[in-house]
């Protein structure tokens, strides 16, 4: 993997870049749709190609549980299994173990847990999650980290940072000894909760190793917006300028804007697709919920400024009707539109950085999305 910064906005830390991977190039800042179990919810893989996404994220924890590494190995990795041949990033499974799995127990060596599906016992170590990601064949792998829930007291957050740093060191050594590091990149993850000193410490110490990139974990987990902003402002500029920065699990327009302002390059989130299935749709005028009765006889497109297939083809009245009727087509159309919006949103951001106008874009979208944000998720 190679990262190239093409330009940075002279009025803030926003930057325009390219990540070169064995499966192709990714323009940054980028939003990555999530194929949790090897499929994007409610879309086909050709929809994802048509929408123009250059990278997709999949979840190591889920793929490890089902279909499992034996099958993935026989399939020749996840690219072949999904028949998707562009760049692929996988998380380490850490977040899922800490948020989804049952009866987890953190040891010095790794984390013990039970599958949320069948209760079977498993043990993840920093080395093991890399072995799984090798079999998956991801272009960008993530290290195992310890995630704490929000709120966490200082001591809990500190213990997690210590463990995260130890595991990052082991991950780095294992990666260097056992991987083709050009074929499969490895990103470290900064933890530290909402404590600026811990975040700074974690960011600094991770730089003892020459990771391919650096991610910020454990944000957008329920903390107030001001804390999200403050921690981002402290953490991101402390990371190496010449490496990609990835804000994990973040996907709302205001959060993305805030992070890009401080120099983040990559994002992923299931939110745009999840809220789509609930009828909440992004537009160039903010969020709307298609189930509202105000759209019952509205024969306008969902978003008159949007050029997606759904907006060019159907009316709000029709989209509301099929939503109310629980048609699967409603899930498809809503998801397609929201991902088209996310791609469009990132494209406008890229253009604004190229023109040194990111802060205009920031202000425009923040204004549009601060009004509609609270309504209906």
Q: Which residues bind a second copy (CB under 8 A)?
A: 37-46, 66-67, 71, 74-75, 81-83, 296-297, 299, 309, 313-315, 317-318, 321-322, 324-325, 327-333
Quick one: which of 239, 247, 243, 286 has its CA closest to 264? 247
Does the annotation count 268 as an active-site position?
A: yes
Q: Which two tokens stand for residue 83?
A: 């028949």
CB of 94 to a second copy, least distance (A): 21
Report the half-sphere exposure of 68 (CA within 13 A, side-chain side): 6
CB of 341 to a second copy, least distance (A): 18
CB closer to a second copy, 138 vs 273: 273
* In contact, 130 and 171? CB cutoff 8 Å: yes
CB of 122 to a second copy, least distance (A): 18
Q: How far apart are CA 149 and CA 158, in angstroms?
A: 13
Q: Phi first, then psi: give them for residue 170, nearest 5 degrees.
A: -60, -40
CB closer to a second copy, 83 vs 120: 83
Quick one: which of 262, 277, 294 has its CA closest to 338? 277
Which distant-in-sequence residues (6+ apart) come within 8 Å of 333 by Cβ? 310, 314, 319, 322
CB of 268 to a second copy, least distance (A): 18
- The single residue of 47, 91, 145, 303 carrying the catalytic annotation is 91
Does the annotation count 145 as an active-site position?
A: no
CB closer to a second copy, 45 vs 234: 45
CB closer to a second copy, 25 vs 329: 329
Which distant-in-sequence residues (6+ apart) come within 8 Å of 325 by Cβ? none
* Partners of 17 in the β-ladder: 5, 28
Active site residues: 91, 268
């Amino acid at each position: 993997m190679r990262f190239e910064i093409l330009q940075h906005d002279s009025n803030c830390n926003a930057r325009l870049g390219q990540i070169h991977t064995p499966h192709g190039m990714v323009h940054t800042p980028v939003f990555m749709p999530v194929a949790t179990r090897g499929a994007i919810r409610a879309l086909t893989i050709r929809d994802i190609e048509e929408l123009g996404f250059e990278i997709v994220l999949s979840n190591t924890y889920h793929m490890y549980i089902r279909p499992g590494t034996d099958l993935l190995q026989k399939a020749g990795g996840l690219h072949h299994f999904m028949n998707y041949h562009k760049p692929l990033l996988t998380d380490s499974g850490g977040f899922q173990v800490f948020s989804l799995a049952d009866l987890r127990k953190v040891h010095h060596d790794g984390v013990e847990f039970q599958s949320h599906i069948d209760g079977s016992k498993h043990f993840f170590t920093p080395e093991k999650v890399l072995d799984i990601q090798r079999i998956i064949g991801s272009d960008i792998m993530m290290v195992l980290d310890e995630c704490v829930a929000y709120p966490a007291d200082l001591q809990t957050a500190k213990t997690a940072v210590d463990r995260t740093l130890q595991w990052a060191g082991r991950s780095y050594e294992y990666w260097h000894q056992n991987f083709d590091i050009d074929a499969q990149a490895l990103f470290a993850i900064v933890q530290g909760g909402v404590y600026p000193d811990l975040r700074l410490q974690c960011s600094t110490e991770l730089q003892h190793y020459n990771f391919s990139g650096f991610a910020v974990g454990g944000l957008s987990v329920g903390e107030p917006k001001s804390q999200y902003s403050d921690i981002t402002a402290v953490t991101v500029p402390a990371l190496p300028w010449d490496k990609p920065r990835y804000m994990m699990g973040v996907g709302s327009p205001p959060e993305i804007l805030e992070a890009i302002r401080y120099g983040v390059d990559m994002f992923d989130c299931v939110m745009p697709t999840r809220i789509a299935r609930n009828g909440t749709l992004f537009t160039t005028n903010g969020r709307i919920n298609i189930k509202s009765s105000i759209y019952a006889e509205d024969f306008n497109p969902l978003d008159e400024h949007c050029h997606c297939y759904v907006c060019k083809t159907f009316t709000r009245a029709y989209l509301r009707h099929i939503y109310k009727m629980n048609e699967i087509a409603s899930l498809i159309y809503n998801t397609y539109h929201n991902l088209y919006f996310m791609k469009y949103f990132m494209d406008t951001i890229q253009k604004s950085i190229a023109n040194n106008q990111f802060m205009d874009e920031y202000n425009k979208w923040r204004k549009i999305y601060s009004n509609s944000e609270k309504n209906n998720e």
